[in-house]
Amino acid sequence: MNKVSMTIDGIKLYVPENYTILQAAKEVNINIPTLCFLKNLNEIGCCRMCIVEVKGARALQAACVHPVSEGMEVFTHTPAVMEARKVNLELILSNHNSRCQTCTRSWMDCELQALANKLSVDMVRFEGEQKKLPLDIGTSIVRDPNKCILCRRCVSVCKNIQTVGVIDVVNRGFNTQVASPFGISLSETPCVNCGQCINYCPVGALHEKSDVDKVWEAIHDPSKHVVVQTAPAVRVALGEDFEMNIGTPVTGKMVTALRMLGFDKVFDTDTGADLTIMEEGAELIDRIRGGGKLPLITSCSPGWIKFCEHNYPDMLGHLSSCKSPHQMFGAVLKTYYAERNDIDPKDIVVVSIMPCTAKKFEANRPEMQVDGLADVDIVLTTRELGKMIYDIGIEFPDLGDSDFDNPFGNASGAGAIFGATGGVMEAALRTVSDILTGSSADNFEYEDVRGLEGIKITNVKIGDLNVRAAVAHGLGNARKLMDAIKTGEKFHFVEIMACPGGCVNGGGQPLQLSDVRNWIDVRAERAKGLYKEDRNMYIRKSHNNPTVKRLYKDFLGMAGGSKSHQLLHTHYTPRTNYDD
């Protein structure tokens, strides 16, 4: 690509001709402030915080959208630039509900507050209009329009990345809002509860519906046996809430912290993931051998399931009937575990720590119960767990390591990689390959299904069978893949994750400032942590997990059998949209 010569604050540099001023400045370690900007997602220049002075231009320019050109001279901190940024920020603050002490972002990083500190805004010279709009409180997501700064980042991710499009900008001028159509609640729309809008909101206008108080109540109730399980993606993100490096595996510290919080037992959802592979693998083999409906599509991601129910109800028969790993595990805990430990299932409270806001919705689905008891009682996000640890004063980075409790303390590396896009596919292929060939394959790392390409397609030779597989992450990519399947493209097995990058980038994961997200791919860094966990595991295939083997021998019978179907499988519901 051709390069152009330019100067920024007197520094001469050569950059690709398709760069913006913001990208060029980053090359020489000049960090121009931004607020609405998110690389490759929201590049609209609406907040005007990144304005710079370009020699010869009549007005200040937004660095995030202004292209570079040959001979351009840019100045990032002239008096005019600094004053204009300050005025713009004060105008935003003048209309903002600034009850920071009670905001969900007060203990984490609020980008608006960080920018006010950076620009030394210690007073607001303008008297704005404080909104008094009602909160929109759903099962998973809370939307507070009074704190919205109209950056449109949530709109961009919902519409352009997830192709769900249940929020947009409405009205004009001072009446402008981000809202659902006709002002209805998100829960009345085809919202899939993925929480990507939360991930990208710079302030506290979007957050998960907190269930922390319910957990504390259960822990302090002596009549309850409170069991907690943690998803694989949590262990490579939780440390970020305590300023540890992105993607650092903190499994042992996490277990120690959960015990300190007062949980009676600490189990690993990776065991549920291994169980899912056994059931899903049996289902895939049965469909291939018996001429069943193909492709078989994974059902681990509740955001994807709801998206399919709304947008592809005629394709529900392709979905695996398997519950997601934490729901399966919850069902096992309230039956097998309760029976073996002589505990009344009604006294067991199952708490799931998940990277996902959609899991809150999933746990409340009427299909997710056995004998009238919910599989999972309470779902907390990674962020909520971090807040609990923070609130009681645990110095998380200084904790020692502990092991998960038995009898569910053992899991495989295949279970660990569930949290990354392609992980479910790879875990399934490791098991299906061994079962179909009747031998243990030495080469079981399926590199073709790894990585962050939106749709990955591969052919895997298993004995005499050529398995054609596809992986998609992010619902926009899921839509493309589903449309291809509907028009005749053939696959045996398909994995779909609602969130871009998979569960490692779930809507309940620790928030990262745009200054980080714009230049570091947090999805890749967290995924590296999971693959590291996998490599370090003694058992790396789900069907070799001794805990799972014992579970089938002593309780479930066979994978795909009647008892497994009663406890571990479910069904799905076609849903109409509000505009039908």
**Measured in whole angstroms, how far is the alpha carbon of residue 37 from the centre of its chain?**
20
For the beta carbon of residue 61, count every other beta carbon within 10 angstroms.
21
Asked if 300 and 424 count as a contact pair (C-beta separation under 8 A), the reply is yes
Residue corresponding to tokens 């942590």: 529
Tokens of 134: 């009602």
| The length of the chain, given as a count of residues | 580
Asked if 329 and 322 count as a contact pair (C-beta separation under 8 A), the reply is no
CA atoms within 13 A on the CB side of 86: 16
3-class secondary structure per residue, 504-532? HHCCCCCCCCHHHHCCCCHHHHHHHHHHH
- What stretches of 236-307 adopt beta strand conformation (E)? 265-268, 296-297
Contacts of 438 (CB under 8 A, 6+ apart): none
Q: Is residue 470 classed as helix, strand or coil in its secondary structure? A: strand
User: What is the C-alpha separation between 47 and 51, in angstroms, rounded?
Assistant: 9
Nearest to 273 by CA among 446, 426, 56, 457: 426
CA atoms within 13 A on the CB side of 35: 27
Distances (CA, A) of 45 to 49, 199, 348: 8, 20, 52
Residue type (1 letter), 99: R
User: What is the C-alpha separation between 358 and 306, in angstroms, rounded?
Assistant: 9
For the beta sheet containing 225-230, the strands, ordered from the edge strand earlier in sequence to the opposite edge, are 265-268, 225-230, 348-354, 378-381
For the chain, first and last CA: distance in Å? 48
Helix (H) or strand (E) holding 427: helix 423-437
Residue corresponding to tokens 């920071």: 100
Point out the residues that are catalytic. 280, 283, 300, 320, 359, 362, 367, 503
User: What is the C-alpha separation between 9 and 55, in angstroms, rounded?
Assistant: 11
Tokens of 551: 């579970």
> For 142, phi and psi rounded to 5 degrees?
-110, 130
Residue corresponding to tokens 């291809």: 484
Q: Is residue 257 classed as helix, strand or coil in its secondary structure? A: helix
Nearest to 118 by CA among 58, 194, 52, 35: 35
Nearest to 123 by CA among 98, 95, 168, 90: 90
User: What is the C-alpha separation between 366 and 364, in angstroms, rounded?
Assistant: 6
Asked if 429 and 446 count as a contact pair (C-beta separation under 8 A), the reply is yes
User: What is the C-alpha separation between 316 and 314, in angstroms, rounded?
Assistant: 6
